[in-house]
Amino acid sequence: MALLEVQDLAIEFSSKQGPLRAVDNVSFSVGAGEILGLMGESGSGKSVTCRALLRLLPSRQARIVEGAVWFDGQDLVSLPESEIRKLRGRAISMIFQNPSSHLDPVMTIGQQIAEPLIVHKGLSKAEAKNRAVELLRQVGIPDPTQQYDAYPHQFSGGMRQRAMIAAALSCQPKLLIADEPTTALDVTVQAQILRLLLDLRDQEGLTIILITHDLGVIAQTADSVAVMYAGRIVEQGPKSELLRRPMHPYSEALIRSQPELANPDEALPSIDGQPPSLTAPPPGCRFHPRCNLAVADCATGHFDLVPVAQGRLTACNRWQELRDAEGENP
Amino acid sequence: MSAITPSPVTLGLGGRLGASKSLLWGGGLTLIWILLALTAPLVAPYDPTAQDLTATLRPPSLTHPLGTDNFGRDVLSRIIWGTRLDLAMGLLALVTPFVAGCLIGLISGYFGGIVDILLMRLLDVTMSFPFFVLVIAIISVLGPGLASFFIAVALVAWVSYARLVRSRVLVLKHADFVLAARSLGYGHLRVMLRHILPNAVLPAIVFAMSDVVITILLGSSLSYLGMGVQPPTPEWGVMIAEGQNFLATAWWICFFPGLAIVFVALGFSLLADGLAERFGTVE
């Protein structure tokens, strides 16, 4: 039974050139205790999708035009604002890419962690403080009693991210949406933060949606992966299988262009061309103008995500060819 | 958001104070005036309203360090007692417009739309009149006295605070930490008051320090014109007004209250500059 189920989600932004569909026909589900990696390049709609889950889109420009998000038997898309607010921070929490700018600069770290406890759980100030110190300890901040009174600018990037995780988890939510939680951190700290998220999943049964453009992060953490391109999910499947044998040319190209896998004597492989403009996306498969395997058929018709193997879904009609090409040229 | 992050307190005490001389001097001067106001009954040598008709218009001397006026009242004592009234006028008259202006700016900037349009038109109308003219007009309608002065200042002075706070809120409401606060399920009221306002209020506080000067000057000017504090209450503007008839023969009656106004203004101005420098919010 999935904890969260997204069905046919579509989000439009209003722009001068008319409505811009930033997310189109996106469906996925996350089981309890699972870590789903949502992968894609900048502008592919991963962050917008996740903000939409908590209805934190800029209300004047963006709106959910289609679809449903089922969480705990409720459709988050049709819930009134007052009801969705009760879920935020309590049942579903979010952490962000840049912990420096996502913490209030004039409030102490401790107060920011204690605040959700006072607001949502009705704890007294003293109780909340004790609990906040405990949370700081749990996320691995040394000397938590002292650091409770520190301001964000006195913390390093990694410590700020830990503090943000502590605030997000203070009310024991079931689902954590982590929007590029390690992108702004250096590699050693990155690994520590990912380790912390994994520990939280193992010990507390936390379900995590991990947004990232970094395949390394996916490889270390996720159980299953959804790959987004130009506002759509193009491929989905269990992590190890998807990374070993991608079934969509875009995922395949993405994996091939990872610096870690590159041969130092050769130029780094890249995907030719630019992601399409969302005001006028190409017809048919949105990836076909950049795809090596594209044929005339790819420019027409619908390309929906369809199951092709156990647990595997792809939006590519020619995934068989991709497997054959792989087979010939391993 | 680096502009609103207080600079890290890493320097020693000497370094920090040395970095802002105006903060030190302004703070010191203001503190002296506040102490003088608080301890007026103890430090003033005479009763400020006691007349001594045997010693009128005496020049500064050992018994009367700043001389006496035409009723034989001690000028020094009157200035010290006047500190109470003038500081209170400057500070108290600003409390209402400061609070009202900050809240109006916060609401206007945060909610935007029709609320913002209406409040900003109200602000434009208020600002289209010269400050002094509008205050004097309101007091003329309400009748002279301190209460009218407070009401008039409150009706006019809020606009600066509303504008300052609104412009900060317009930026801050899209700040990442506000999004993070909303993602933790806080309501509008909490986000506005606990997260946006503390980050938006600093320029308003700095401005208030220089606004105190203007308000004290305004209060004194109005008293001078007979529209504020009424004689025989010791107030600097009143003293200058009463002394001007004797300017040629007894200059000290006007000169010392004028000097007091200058030094109070200097103190608050330096304090405002120092605060602006310290927190990097020079407008």
Contacts of B195 in chain A (CB under 8 A): 104, 107
Which pLDDT tens digit goes with each residue over A244-256?
Answer: 889 999 998 888 8
Q: In this model, does residue B2 exceed pLDDT 50?
A: no
* % of chain A surpassing 90 pLDDT: 53
Strands of the sheet with A35-39, listed across from one edge: A92-95, A175-179, A207-212, A35-39, A224-229, A232-238, A312-314, A306-309
With CA atoms as reference, report the closest residue to B238 among B63, B49, B29. Answer: B49
Cβ within 8 Å of A, B 192-221: 194-195, 198-199
What is the mean predicted confidence (pLDDT) over A57-69?
Answer: 88
Residues A85, B195: C-beta atoms closer than 8 Å: no
CA distance A290 to chain B (A): 34
- Beta strands per DSSP E along chain B: none
Q: In this model, does residue B109 exceed pLDDT 90?
A: yes
What per-residue confidence (pLDDT) applies to A185?
Answer: 84
Residue A329 — pLDDT band, cuts 50, 70, 90? very low
- Name the range with the highest mean pLDDT among A130-144, A316-330, B6-20: A130-144
Contacts of A56 in chain B (CB under 8 A): 179, 182-183
Its pTM stands at 0.81
What per-residue confidence (pLDDT) applies to B5?
Answer: 44
Chosen from A94, A101, A108 to mutate, greatest number of chain B CBs within 10 A:
A101
| CB-based burial, A188-225: b 16+ in 10 Å, e otherwise | ebbeebbebbeebbeeeebbbbbbbbbbbbbbbbbbbb
Its ipTM equals 0.87
Indicate the length of chain B as a whole number.
283
Contacts of A89 in chain B (CB under 8 A): 183-186
Which pLDDT tens digit goes with each residue over B228-244?
Answer: 888 888 889 888 888 88
Q: In this model, does residue B14 exceed pLDDT 70?
A: no
> In this complex, which of A56, A89, A104 lies closest to B177 when CB atoms are compared?
A104
What per-residue confidence (pLDDT) applies to A1?
Answer: 65
Q: In this model, does residue B255 exceed pLDDT 60?
A: yes
Residues B175, A101: C-beta atoms closer than 8 Å: yes
Residue A262 — pLDDT band, cuts 50, 70, 90? low
Tokens, residue B20? 């802002």
Q: In this model, does residue A236 exceed pLDDT 70?
A: yes
What is the mean predicted confidence (pLDDT) over A204-222?
Answer: 91
What is the mean predicted confidence (pLDDT) over B99-106?
Answer: 95
The mean predicted confidence, pLDDT, of chain A is 88
Q: What is the DSSP letter of B68?
A: B
Residues A105, B183: C-beta atoms closer than 8 Å: no
- Range in A5-14, B188-197, B272-281 with the lowest mean pLDDT: B272-281
- Range in A226-230, B44-48, B175-179 with the lowest mean pLDDT: B44-48
Q: Which residue of A has its CA nearest to B188?
A: A85
With CA atoms as reference, report the closest residue to A135 among A147, A119, A152, A151. Answer: A147
Phi, psi (degrees; rounded to nearest 5) at A38:
-105, 110
Contacts of A115 in chain B (CB under 8 A): 184, 186, 194
Which pLDDT tens digit goes with each residue over B154-186?
Answer: 999 999 999 999 999 999 999 999 999 999 999
> In this complex, which of B4, B176, B185 lies closest to A90 when CB atoms are compared?
B185
Q: What is the DSSP letter of B74?
A: B
CA distance B179 to chain A (A): 8
